Amino acid sequence: MRAPFSAGVALAAWAALAPAEALGVARVELQLVPPQPVAGTPFRIVYTLHVQNEEPASGAPLQCGGLEVLANPGGPSTSSFAVLGGAGFQLSMTTSVEYIVRAPRPGTYVVTGARAVSQASGRVLAQLPPFTVRVLAGSGAAPAPQPPQPQGFPGFPGFPPMPGFPPMPGFPDPQTPPPEVPRPAYEADPDAPPEGALTGAQFQQDGFLRYAVDNPTPYVGQQVILRAWLYVPAGDAACDPVREPSVTGFWSESLMLLRGLCARRWTMQNVNGRLYGAGMVRKIALFPTRSGRLEVGPMAMTVEYLQGDGFFGTRRQTEASSPSLVLEAREPPARGRPSGYVPGTLGPLGLTSELDRPSCTVGETVTLRLRAEGNGYLGSVGLPQLTPVDGVRMHLGASRAHTDTSSDQVRGTLEQEVLLVPTRPGSFPLGLLQVPWLDPSSGTYHTAQAQLPTLVATGAALEPEPGAHTDDPQVALEPLREEPSLAPPRTLFTTVPRAALALGFPPGAVVLSLLGAIARRRWRRREDEALARARSDPGSLLAEARRCHAAGDARQALDLAGRALAQARKALEADGRSADAGVAEAQARCDGARFAGDTAEVGPVLDSVAQAVASLEAGA
């Protein structure tokens, strides 16, 4: 009886302890109260730390980004809270603190630093990805107003006023709401992914890239900002570009530097009923260099993210891509376009000028620096040439273009140096510099002007330049021809076929003649072989004999018939057989006619020879 009892106790103890060892969990949570905060109104961030069967931990303080922190309690700690739960010995501790914060303006804020740290070892037990807080504008999208909270006594915030007591002087009446403070209108964060329908992207469940531009129909030279966001079904991700967006037809300038990060911050967004983290991965300023349809090529990235929580989640890797994006670049309006306008010159444009010194001696070089400053890429803006000034030689000097990408609007600077050499004393006003530019917002043209300084030269006037080139034999020009020929130039080999034909003619002729000789030799050899074959063929010899007989040459016919018969017999004897009596008779008749010279018997002789040859060939 005792043994089964002790065994049952041991089993119960093991059953209680076993899960406690397996489930060591630490978790941190952030929660917004209310869930949709409004700009200008304080709200709470509840920071909860939950530790189960783990060593005592505390939460790290939160970094609230641009939120104004009204109450900062620090991180939660489990050292003072302990709740016994589970199967008897499972230790579970939960604690939370509340941050009271206020957003100065609507937009997206990121709260970071939520993590549980072991008090004993300093080990990070759990942590949250950056937590995105979307703050609504004070009007329209704001949630239903909360009922007015009773005001506390000074120095005792949160202490409710006693019911039935009149409001004290100097204290607000709890029944009257506080006066409305007018809230300034703020623009939404342009770097946040656009809300609403999913545009500029092709939805993929595992992750995708999305494009957006701030102006799909810019003028030539007008800046467009291209943003690309990576969407993943997780709080953040690591990424590696596979294909960068191609920007043919644009001059481009990157506006963000990530230095190994995939995205600086992640915003949670509901896409097709599922929550996705979206991080901006590219921000590029584009400047169309021509009008018409321009395409930003697709982009692709390999993405790695953690699906699920930090402990039990699985690491996933996928390739996210975007479709291409089409922009329609417009030509600068023809209406009102001033002469001398260089397409791509967009304003407002500032012009300045300065001389390195206002006066000089005649013959010295003074540098006039012209500086244009404006939006976009000014490398294309060739500053117009100065109006010639009598008594001053002008030469274009160095030119430098610079772009500043420290802000979203790329600023360009163009510096042009003009070298001035006064050739006589006097005061020389250098005139007015004018550069027309286009205001893309209104489509109208304006002109930037700069009054150029006056150059004062002293000293004696320079002698007119002698023919400097004529003194140097290297650069002295040969004189013109007195009686130039007007005959048109004769060029024969201006085209490749002509030249190739001429170059290849002699070797080609040799090769052709060699080929002809070889062909002729082969043909002759073949003819000889055919003749030899005909001479030894009984049928051919017999046919030749008949032709000779028809031509009246009986002797030749009989000779040929005799040779035909002899060739046939030779072929038969080569097979090891002997001729029959008919053959011998035909041979005798043929020989007799040949010796007798009997021309009348030639026909029958030939017939008998033919029969004999046929029988011999049949036998062979």
Question: Nearest distance from residue 249's CB to other proteins, in Å?
Answer: 7
Query: Considering beta carbons, is residue 52 or 380 the nearer one to other proteins?
Result: 380
What are the structure tokens assigned to 38, written together? 């409004």
Query: Considering beta carbons, is residue 186 or 341 the nearer one to other proteins?
Result: 341
Q: Long-range contacts of range 490-494, CB-CB < 8 Å, 24 or more positions apart?
A: none
**Within 10 Å of residue 60's Cβ, how many Cβ atoms?**
19
Query: Considering beta carbons, is residue 7 or 499 the nearer one to other proteins?
Result: 499
Query: Considering beta carbons, is residue 345 or 567 the nearer one to other proteins?
Result: 345
Question: Nearest distance from residue 384's CB to other proteins, in Å?
Answer: 11
- What gap in Å lies between CA 210 and CA 232, rounded to an integer? 11
User: Which strands make up the sheet holding 124-127, listed edge to edge?
Assistant: 57-59, 115-118, 124-127
Query: Considering beta carbons, is residue 122 or 506 the nearer one to other proteins?
Result: 506
Q: How big is the chain by its Cα radius of gyration, in Å?
A: 53
Question: Nearest distance from residue 610's CB to other proteins, in Å?
Answer: 54
Question: Nearest distance from residue 482's CB to other proteins, in Å?
Answer: 6
Helix 496-536 vs helix 538-550: crossing angle, to nearest 10 = 90
Asked whether 452 and 433 are in contact (CB, 8 A), the reply is: yes
Residues 6+ apart with CB under 8 A from 555: 594, 597
Query: Considering beta carbons, is residue 469 or 555 the nearer one to other proteins?
Result: 469
Asked whether 112 and 135 are in contact (CB, 8 A), the reply is: no
Give burial (CB, 10 Å; 0-12/13-18/19+) of 479: exposed
Question: Nearest distance from residue 386's CB to other proteins, in Å?
Answer: 14
Read out DSSP for 475-534? TPPPPPPSS---PPP--S--SHHHHHHHHHHHHHHHHHHHHHHHHHHHHHHHHHHHHHHH
Asked whether 287 and 310 are in contact (CB, 8 A), the reply is: no
**Residue position matching structure tokens 């021309």:** 599
Query: Considering beta carbons, is residue 82 or 394 the nearer one to other proteins?
Result: 394
**Residue position matching structure tokens 């043929």:** 590
Query: Considering beta carbons, is residue 13 or 398 the nearer one to other proteins?
Result: 398
- What gap in Å lies between CA 231 and CA 198, rounded to an integer? 11
Q: What is the dihedral of CA 503, 506, 507, 513, to 10 degrees?
A: 150
Question: Nearest distance from residue 396's CB to other proteins, in Å?
Answer: 6
Query: Considering beta carbons, is residue 260 or 473 the nearer one to other proteins?
Result: 473
Question: Nearest distance from residue 414's CB to other proteins, in Å?
Answer: 12
Question: Nearest distance from residue 493's CB to other proteins, in Å?
Answer: 4
Contacting residues toward other proteins, per CB under 8 A: 220-221, 249, 251, 287, 289-291, 331-332, 343-344, 377, 379-380, 382, 395-398, 419, 469, 474-482, 484-494, 496, 499-500, 502-503, 505-507, 510
Asked whether 300 and 246 are in contact (CB, 8 A), the reply is: no
Question: Nearest distance from residue 328's CB to other proteins, in Å?
Answer: 14
Question: Nearest distance from residue 252's CB to other proteins, in Å?
Answer: 12
Query: Considering beta carbons, is residue 88 or 508 the nearer one to other proteins?
Result: 508
